[in-house]
Protein backbone atom coordinates (compact mmCIF):
# COMPACT_ATOMS: atom_id res chain seq x y z
CA UNK A 1 0.00 0.00 0.00
CA UNK A 2 1.33 3.45 -0.88
CA UNK A 3 2.07 5.96 1.87
CA UNK A 4 0.54 9.08 0.38
CA UNK A 5 -0.17 12.61 1.46
CA UNK A 6 -3.95 12.79 1.59
CA UNK A 7 -4.56 16.06 -0.19
CA UNK A 8 -5.98 17.31 -3.44
CA UNK A 9 -3.29 20.00 -3.81
CA UNK A 10 -2.03 20.11 -7.39
CA UNK A 11 1.70 19.98 -8.05
CA UNK A 12 2.65 23.21 -9.84
CA UNK A 13 6.01 24.32 -11.26
CA UNK A 14 7.30 27.60 -12.63
CA UNK A 15 10.41 28.52 -14.65
CA UNK A 16 10.28 25.12 -16.29
CA UNK A 17 12.33 23.63 -19.08
CA UNK A 18 12.65 20.19 -20.60
CA UNK A 19 16.07 18.59 -20.35
CA UNK A 20 17.51 15.51 -22.03
CA UNK A 21 19.66 13.22 -19.91
CA UNK A 22 22.72 11.36 -21.31
CA UNK A 23 20.62 8.17 -21.50
CA UNK A 24 18.09 9.92 -23.75
CA UNK A 25 15.34 10.30 -21.13
CA UNK A 26 13.51 13.62 -21.01
CA UNK A 27 12.94 15.26 -17.63
CA UNK A 28 11.28 18.49 -16.55
CA UNK A 29 13.25 20.98 -14.45
CA UNK A 30 11.69 23.88 -12.65
CA UNK A 31 10.74 25.52 -9.34
CA UNK A 32 7.96 24.13 -7.14
CA UNK A 33 5.30 26.33 -5.62
CA UNK A 34 5.10 25.85 -1.86
CA UNK A 35 1.45 24.83 -2.07
CA UNK A 36 2.57 21.93 -4.24
CA UNK A 37 4.54 20.27 -1.46
CA UNK A 38 1.36 18.95 0.15
CA UNK A 39 0.45 17.19 -3.09
CA UNK A 40 3.68 15.20 -3.42
CA UNK A 41 3.36 11.57 -2.37
CA UNK A 42 5.92 9.08 -1.02
CA UNK A 43 6.02 5.32 -1.33
CA UNK A 44 7.38 2.56 0.91
CA UNK A 45 11.05 2.99 -0.07
CA UNK A 46 10.94 6.31 1.79
CA UNK A 47 9.77 4.70 5.05
CA UNK A 48 13.41 4.14 6.04
CA UNK A 49 14.07 7.86 5.58
CA UNK A 50 12.21 9.42 8.49
CA UNK A 51 13.12 13.03 9.21
CA UNK A 52 15.53 12.99 12.14
CA UNK A 53 16.13 16.00 14.35
CA UNK A 54 19.64 16.88 13.19
CA UNK A 55 18.99 17.12 9.41
CA UNK A 56 15.68 18.89 10.10
CA UNK A 57 17.48 21.45 12.26
CA UNK A 58 20.17 21.99 9.62
CA UNK A 59 17.59 22.52 6.87
CA UNK A 60 15.61 25.01 8.97
CA UNK A 61 18.79 26.87 9.83
CA UNK A 62 19.67 27.14 6.13
CA UNK A 63 16.20 28.44 5.33
CA UNK A 64 16.34 31.07 8.09
CA UNK A 65 19.59 32.39 6.62
CA UNK A 66 18.13 32.57 3.15
CA UNK A 67 20.33 29.80 1.78
CA UNK A 68 19.09 27.70 -1.11
CA UNK A 69 18.45 23.97 -0.89
CA UNK A 70 19.49 21.32 -3.41
CA UNK A 71 16.89 20.36 -6.01
CA UNK A 72 14.72 17.40 -5.16
CA UNK A 73 14.02 14.48 -7.52
CA UNK A 74 10.43 13.53 -8.33
CA UNK A 75 8.80 10.79 -10.33
CA UNK A 76 5.44 11.22 -12.08
CA UNK A 77 3.63 7.97 -12.77
CA UNK A 78 2.49 9.09 -16.17
CA UNK A 79 3.36 11.90 -18.57
CA UNK A 80 0.35 14.18 -18.43
CA UNK A 81 0.89 17.83 -17.60
CA UNK A 82 -0.91 21.07 -18.39
CA UNK A 83 0.66 24.45 -19.22
CA UNK A 84 -1.41 27.27 -17.70
CA UNK A 85 0.15 30.58 -18.72
CA UNK A 86 3.67 29.37 -18.00
CA UNK A 87 2.76 27.42 -14.88
CA UNK A 88 3.03 23.66 -15.38
CA UNK A 89 0.57 21.48 -13.52
CA UNK A 90 1.64 17.83 -13.15
CA UNK A 91 -1.56 15.87 -13.66
CA UNK A 92 -0.56 12.29 -12.83
CA UNK A 93 0.49 11.18 -9.30
CA UNK A 94 3.86 12.62 -8.27
CA UNK A 95 6.22 10.81 -5.85
CA UNK A 96 9.35 12.08 -4.14
CA UNK A 97 12.41 9.94 -4.93
CA UNK A 98 15.02 12.14 -3.27
CA UNK A 99 14.17 15.07 -0.99
CA UNK A 100 11.57 13.89 1.53
CA UNK A 101 13.51 15.45 4.42
CA UNK A 102 13.68 18.78 2.62
CA UNK A 103 9.95 18.75 1.88
CA UNK A 104 9.00 17.86 5.46
CA UNK A 105 11.37 20.41 6.99
CA UNK A 106 10.04 23.17 4.69
CA UNK A 107 6.43 22.38 5.58
CA UNK A 108 7.29 22.54 9.29
CA UNK A 109 9.11 25.82 8.77
CA UNK A 110 6.17 27.32 6.93
CA UNK A 111 3.86 26.44 9.83
CA UNK A 112 5.59 29.17 11.86
CA UNK A 113 6.41 31.51 8.95
CA UNK A 114 3.69 30.99 6.32
CA UNK A 115 4.72 34.02 4.24
CA UNK A 116 8.40 33.10 4.02
CA UNK A 117 9.62 32.86 0.42
CA UNK A 118 11.40 29.58 -0.33
CA UNK A 119 12.95 28.56 -3.64
CA UNK A 120 12.94 24.77 -4.16
CA UNK A 121 13.94 23.34 -7.51
CA UNK A 122 12.91 19.92 -8.77
CA UNK A 123 13.75 17.47 -11.51
CA UNK A 124 10.73 15.43 -12.62
CA UNK A 125 11.09 12.03 -14.29
CA UNK A 126 8.14 10.87 -16.37
CA UNK A 127 6.45 7.46 -16.59
CA UNK A 128 8.01 6.12 -13.39
CA UNK A 129 6.71 3.24 -11.28
CA UNK A 130 7.50 1.77 -7.87
CA UNK A 131 10.32 -0.47 -9.11
CA UNK A 132 12.02 2.27 -11.12
CA UNK A 133 11.73 4.79 -8.29
CA UNK A 134 13.10 2.28 -5.77
CA UNK A 135 16.11 1.61 -7.99
CA UNK A 136 16.72 5.34 -8.43
CA UNK A 137 16.42 5.87 -4.66
CA UNK A 138 19.07 3.23 -3.96
CA UNK A 139 21.39 4.58 -6.67
CA UNK A 140 21.07 8.19 -5.55
CA UNK A 141 21.59 7.43 -1.89
CA UNK A 142 24.40 4.95 -2.45
CA UNK A 143 26.42 7.47 -4.39
CA UNK A 144 25.61 10.39 -2.09
CA UNK A 145 25.87 8.35 1.13
CA UNK A 146 22.91 10.31 2.44
CA UNK A 147 20.94 7.26 3.61
CA UNK A 148 22.29 4.85 6.19
CA UNK A 149 23.04 1.25 5.12
CA UNK A 150 20.16 0.20 7.38
CA UNK A 151 17.74 2.30 5.33
CA UNK A 152 19.14 1.04 2.04
CA UNK A 153 18.71 -2.56 3.18
CA UNK A 154 15.11 -1.78 4.14
CA UNK A 155 14.54 -0.60 0.59
CA UNK A 156 16.38 -3.60 -0.87
CA UNK A 157 14.29 -6.15 1.01
CA UNK A 158 11.69 -6.31 -1.76
CA UNK A 159 14.31 -7.48 -4.28
CA UNK A 160 16.60 -9.64 -2.12
CA UNK A 161 15.22 -12.73 -0.41
CA UNK A 162 18.01 -13.01 2.17
CA UNK A 163 17.56 -9.39 3.28
CA UNK A 164 13.80 -9.86 3.32
CA UNK A 165 14.29 -12.95 5.48
CA UNK A 166 16.25 -10.91 8.02
CA UNK A 167 13.61 -8.18 7.96
CA UNK A 168 10.74 -10.62 8.45
CA UNK A 169 12.60 -12.29 11.34
CA UNK A 170 13.31 -9.03 13.12
CA UNK A 171 9.80 -7.72 12.49
CA UNK A 172 7.50 -10.73 12.95
CA UNK A 173 9.38 -13.88 14.08
CA UNK A 174 8.43 -14.48 17.71
CA UNK A 175 11.12 -17.21 17.92
CA UNK A 176 13.87 -14.73 17.07
CA UNK A 177 15.53 -13.22 20.12
CA UNK A 178 16.09 -9.91 18.27
CA UNK A 179 12.48 -9.43 17.18
CA UNK A 180 11.75 -5.71 17.41
CA UNK A 181 15.35 -4.91 18.33
CA UNK A 182 16.93 -4.34 14.90
CA UNK A 183 17.12 -0.90 13.32
CA UNK A 184 16.08 -0.68 9.66
CA UNK A 185 15.91 3.11 9.50
CA UNK A 186 18.15 6.15 9.43
CA UNK A 187 18.49 6.46 13.19
CA UNK A 188 18.66 3.78 15.87
CA UNK A 189 16.12 3.86 18.69
CA UNK A 190 17.24 3.18 22.24
CA UNK A 191 15.59 -0.26 22.35
CA UNK A 192 17.15 -1.33 19.02
CA UNK A 193 20.27 -3.29 19.90
CA UNK A 194 21.87 -3.69 16.46
CA UNK A 195 21.43 -2.27 12.97
CA UNK A 196 20.26 -4.14 9.90
CA UNK A 197 23.74 -3.82 8.36
CA UNK A 198 25.31 -5.52 11.39
CA UNK A 199 22.72 -8.29 11.21
CA UNK A 200 23.51 -8.80 7.52
CA UNK A 201 27.27 -8.76 8.13
CA UNK A 202 27.00 -11.33 10.90
CA UNK A 203 24.83 -13.58 8.72
CA UNK A 204 27.42 -13.29 5.95
CA UNK A 205 30.33 -14.19 8.24
CA UNK A 206 28.39 -17.05 9.76
CA UNK A 207 27.93 -18.55 6.29
CA UNK A 208 31.19 -17.33 4.74
CA UNK A 209 32.31 -20.92 4.13
CA UNK A 210 29.36 -21.25 1.73
CA UNK A 211 29.42 -17.87 0.02
CA UNK A 212 30.79 -16.89 -3.35
CA UNK A 213 31.92 -13.33 -3.92
CA UNK A 214 31.81 -10.74 -1.13
CA UNK A 215 32.13 -12.34 2.30
CA UNK A 216 33.11 -9.67 4.74
CA UNK A 217 30.24 -7.22 4.50
CA UNK A 218 32.05 -3.89 4.09
CA UNK A 219 29.61 -3.03 1.30
CA UNK A 220 26.16 -4.10 2.45
CA UNK A 221 24.68 -4.25 -1.05
CA UNK A 222 27.49 -6.46 -2.38
CA UNK A 223 27.23 -8.79 0.60
CA UNK A 224 23.44 -9.02 0.22
CA UNK A 225 23.89 -9.97 -3.45
CA UNK A 226 26.52 -12.56 -2.52
CA UNK A 227 24.24 -14.18 0.07
CA UNK A 228 21.37 -14.26 -2.40
CA UNK A 229 23.55 -15.99 -5.00
CA UNK A 230 24.34 -18.72 -2.48
CA UNK A 231 20.95 -19.00 -0.83
CA UNK A 232 19.80 -21.68 -3.29
CA UNK A 233 22.56 -24.03 -2.17
CA UNK A 234 22.18 -23.21 1.51
CA UNK A 235 18.40 -23.05 1.60
CA UNK A 236 16.38 -20.16 3.02
CA UNK A 237 15.14 -22.32 5.88
CA UNK A 238 18.69 -23.25 6.92
CA UNK A 239 19.72 -19.59 6.62
CA UNK A 240 16.92 -18.54 8.94
CA UNK A 241 17.47 -21.34 11.46
CA UNK A 242 21.24 -20.77 11.60
CA UNK A 243 20.73 -17.08 12.40
CA UNK A 244 18.26 -18.00 15.13
CA UNK A 245 20.73 -20.54 16.53
CA UNK A 246 23.58 -18.03 16.48
CA UNK A 247 21.74 -15.32 18.41
CA UNK A 248 20.19 -17.88 20.78
CA UNK A 249 23.78 -18.90 21.53
CA UNK A 250 24.74 -15.28 22.23
CA UNK A 251 21.69 -14.94 24.49
CA UNK A 252 22.42 -18.17 26.36
CA UNK A 253 26.08 -17.35 26.94
CA UNK A 254 26.05 -13.60 27.44
CA UNK A 255 22.44 -12.42 27.57
CA UNK A 256 20.26 -10.54 25.08
CA UNK A 257 16.77 -11.00 26.46
CA UNK A 258 17.28 -8.63 29.37
CA UNK A 259 19.38 -6.02 27.54
CA UNK A 260 17.37 -2.88 26.92
CA UNK A 261 20.21 -0.57 25.90
CA UNK A 262 23.36 -2.09 24.47
CA UNK A 263 25.71 0.55 25.94
CA UNK A 264 28.53 -1.47 27.48
CA UNK A 265 27.24 -4.85 26.27
CA UNK A 266 30.42 -5.99 24.49
CA UNK A 267 28.72 -9.10 23.14
CA UNK A 268 26.34 -6.95 21.07
CA UNK A 269 29.07 -4.86 19.49
CA UNK A 270 29.53 -5.43 15.78
CA UNK A 271 33.12 -6.61 16.06
CA UNK A 272 32.40 -9.23 18.71
CA UNK A 273 29.43 -10.63 16.78
CA UNK A 274 31.53 -10.74 13.60
CA UNK A 275 34.38 -12.45 15.45
CA UNK A 276 32.14 -15.11 16.96
CA UNK A 277 30.43 -15.71 13.60
CA UNK A 278 33.82 -16.05 11.89
CA UNK A 279 35.00 -18.50 14.55
CA UNK A 280 31.93 -20.69 14.05
CA UNK A 281 32.16 -20.59 10.26
CA UNK A 282 35.86 -21.44 10.28
CA UNK A 283 35.60 -24.74 12.19
CA UNK A 284 33.77 -27.82 11.00
CA UNK A 285 32.84 -28.93 14.52
CA UNK A 286 29.96 -26.46 14.58
CA UNK A 287 28.26 -27.66 11.42
CA UNK A 288 26.21 -30.58 10.13
CA UNK A 289 24.59 -31.43 6.80
CA UNK A 290 27.62 -30.50 4.66
CA UNK A 291 28.18 -27.27 6.52
CA UNK A 292 24.62 -26.02 6.09
CA UNK A 293 23.26 -26.46 9.62
CA UNK A 294 24.78 -24.71 12.64
CA UNK A 295 24.91 -26.93 15.74
CA UNK A 296 26.82 -26.01 18.90
CA UNK A 297 26.99 -28.92 21.31
CA UNK A 298 26.28 -28.36 24.99
CA UNK A 299 29.89 -28.74 26.19
CA UNK A 300 31.02 -25.97 23.83
CA UNK A 301 28.10 -23.74 24.87
CA UNK A 302 29.06 -24.20 28.51
CA UNK A 303 32.67 -23.36 27.74
CA UNK A 304 31.76 -20.27 25.69
CA UNK A 305 29.57 -19.05 28.55
CA UNK A 306 32.72 -18.67 30.63
CA UNK A 307 34.48 -16.55 28.00
CA UNK A 308 35.72 -13.36 29.76
CA UNK A 309 33.56 -10.92 27.80
CA UNK A 310 34.25 -8.06 30.24
CA UNK A 311 38.04 -8.48 30.21
CA UNK A 312 39.66 -5.14 29.20
CA UNK A 313 41.45 -6.68 26.21
CA UNK A 314 38.24 -8.37 25.02
CA UNK A 315 36.34 -5.15 25.54
CA UNK A 316 38.87 -3.18 23.51
CA UNK A 317 38.77 -5.63 20.62
CA UNK A 318 34.97 -5.82 20.73
CA UNK A 319 34.74 -2.06 20.34
CA UNK A 320 37.43 -1.89 17.65
CA UNK A 321 36.99 -2.16 13.89
CA UNK A 322 38.91 -3.60 10.98
CA UNK A 323 40.06 -7.03 9.95
CA UNK A 324 42.97 -7.37 12.35
CA UNK A 325 40.90 -6.92 15.51
CA UNK A 326 38.20 -9.25 14.16
CA UNK A 327 40.75 -11.97 13.38
CA UNK A 328 42.47 -11.54 16.76
CA UNK A 329 39.24 -11.77 18.70
CA UNK A 330 38.03 -14.72 16.64
CA UNK A 331 41.28 -16.56 17.35
CA UNK A 332 41.01 -15.76 21.07
CA UNK A 333 37.53 -17.33 21.13
CA UNK A 334 38.84 -20.50 19.47
CA UNK A 335 41.86 -20.68 21.77
CA UNK A 336 39.58 -20.32 24.78
CA UNK A 337 37.31 -23.13 23.56
CA UNK A 338 40.39 -25.32 22.96
CA UNK A 339 42.02 -24.49 26.27
CA UNK A 340 42.58 -27.46 28.58
CA UNK A 341 42.07 -29.96 25.76
CA UNK A 342 44.74 -32.42 24.70
CA UNK A 343 42.40 -34.25 22.37
CA UNK A 344 39.22 -33.39 20.48
CA UNK A 345 40.40 -29.89 19.69
CA UNK A 346 38.38 -27.93 17.16
CA UNK A 347 39.08 -28.75 13.52
CA UNK A 348 39.65 -25.79 11.17
CA UNK A 349 38.54 -25.63 7.57
CA UNK A 350 40.96 -25.14 4.70
CA UNK A 351 42.84 -21.92 5.43
CA UNK A 352 42.30 -20.71 1.87
CA UNK A 353 38.58 -20.57 2.54
CA UNK A 354 38.94 -18.06 5.39
CA UNK A 355 38.57 -14.29 4.75
CA UNK A 356 41.93 -12.53 4.82
CA UNK A 357 42.79 -9.48 6.88
CA UNK A 358 43.60 -7.55 3.71
CA UNK A 359 40.19 -8.31 2.23
CA UNK A 360 38.48 -7.23 5.43
CA UNK A 361 40.42 -3.97 5.71
CA UNK A 362 39.72 -3.09 2.09
CA UNK A 363 36.06 -3.91 2.57
CA UNK A 364 35.74 -1.75 5.69
CA UNK A 365 37.49 1.15 3.96
CA UNK A 366 35.01 0.89 1.10
CA UNK A 367 32.15 1.07 3.60
Residue 246 in this model has a pLDDT that exceeds 90: yes
Asked if residue 132 and residue 158 are part of one domain, the reply reads no
Q: What's residue 31's pLDDT?
A: 95
- Antiparallel, parallel or unpaired: β 182-183 and 194-195: parallel
Asked if residue 178 and residue 212 are part of one domain, the reply reads yes
Residue 146 in this model has a pLDDT that exceeds 90: no
Residue 318: partners with Cβ closer than 8 Å, 6 or more residues away: 266, 267, 269, 271, 272, 275, 309, 329
Letter string b/e over residues 299-332, b meaning 16 or more CB atoms within 10 A of that residue's CB: ebeebbeebebeeeebbebbebeebebbbbbbeb
In a domain, 5, yes or no: no
Alpha-carbon gap, residue 163 to 167, rounded angstroms? 6
Asked if residue 161 and residue 115 are part of one domain, the reply reads no
Asked if residue 175 and residue 88 are part of one domain, the reply reads no
Residue 74: partners with Cβ closer than 8 Å, 6 or more residues away: 11, 40, 94, 95, 96, 97, 99, 122, 123, 124, 125
Q: What's residue 296's pLDDT?
A: 96
Residue 9: partners with Cβ closer than 8 Å, 6 or more residues away: 35, 36, 38, 39
Residue 256 in this model has a pLDDT that exceeds 80: yes
Asked if residue 320 and residue 210 are part of one domain, the reply reads yes
Q: What's residue 218's pLDDT?
A: 57
Asked if residue 63 and residue 123 are part of one domain, the reply reads yes
Residue 6 in this model has a pLDDT that exceeds 60: no
Instruction: Report the chain's mean pLDDT, rounded to a whole number.
Output: 85
Asked if residue 354 and residue 305 are part of one domain, the reply reads yes
Last residue of a domain, one of 106, 139, 172: 139
Q: What's residue 151's pLDDT?
A: 82
Which range, of 49-53, 201-205, 210-214, 263-267, averages the lowest pLDDT?
Answer: 49-53
Q: What is the pLDDT of residues 37-67, one digit of tens each?
A: 999 999 988 876 555 544 566 677 778 777 7
**Percent of the chain's residues with pLDDT above 70:** 85
In a domain, 74, yes or no: yes
In a domain, 4, yes or no: no
Asked if residue 158 and residue 71 are part of one domain, the reply reads no
Last residue of a domain, one of 120, 139, 158: 139
In a domain, 164, yes or no: yes
Domain count, the chain: 2
Q: What mean pLDDT do residues 142-156 have? A: 73
Q: What's residue 356's pLDDT?
A: 43
Q: What's residue 215's pLDDT?
A: 58
Asked if residue 258 and residue 198 are part of one domain, the reply reads yes
In a domain, 1, yes or no: no
Of residues 350 and 289, more confidence is placed in 289
* pLDDT band for position 5 (cuts 50, 70, 90): very low
Q: What's residue 295's pLDDT?
A: 97
Q: What mean pLDDT do residues 141-150 have? A: 66
Asked if residue 231 and residue 210 are part of one domain, the reply reads yes
Last residue of a domain, one of 118, 139, 160: 139
* pLDDT band for position 365 (cuts 50, 70, 90): very low
- Find out whether 334 and 279 touch, Cβ atoms under 8 Å: yes
Of residues 339 and 353, more confidence is placed in 339
Asked if residue 342 and residue 221 are part of one domain, the reply reads yes
Torsion over CA: 268, 271, 275, 277 (sign): positive
Domain encompassing residue 265: 148-366
Alpha-carbon gap, residue 163 to 227, rounded angstroms? 9
Q: What's residue 216's pLDDT?
A: 58
Q: What is the pLDDT of residues 89-143, one digit of tens each?
A: 999 999 999 999 899 889 988 998 888 889 999 999 999 999 999 989 888 877 6
In a domain, 96, yes or no: yes
What is the CB neighbour count within 10 angstroms for residue 232? 9
Asked if residue 160 and residue 121 are part of one domain, the reply reads no
CA angle in degrees (0–180, nearest 5) for 40-45-50: 75
Residue 77: partners with Cβ closer than 8 Å, 6 or more residues away: 92, 93, 94, 95, 127, 128, 129
In a domain, 2, yes or no: no
Q: What's residue 357's pLDDT?
A: 40
82 phi and psi angles, rounded to 5 deg:
-125, 135
In a domain, 83, yes or no: yes
Amino acid sequence: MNNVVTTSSPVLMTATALDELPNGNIILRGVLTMESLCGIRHDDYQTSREVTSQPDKMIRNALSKGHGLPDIVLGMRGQNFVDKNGVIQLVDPVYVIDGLQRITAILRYLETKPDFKIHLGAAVHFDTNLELERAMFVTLNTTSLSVSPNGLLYTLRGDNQSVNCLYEMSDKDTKFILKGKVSWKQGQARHELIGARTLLMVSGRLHSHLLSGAKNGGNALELAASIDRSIGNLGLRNYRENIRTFFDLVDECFGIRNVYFKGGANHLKQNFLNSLAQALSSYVDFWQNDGKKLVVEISLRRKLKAFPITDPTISQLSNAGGGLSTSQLSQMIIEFLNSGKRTKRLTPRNVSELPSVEEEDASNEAA
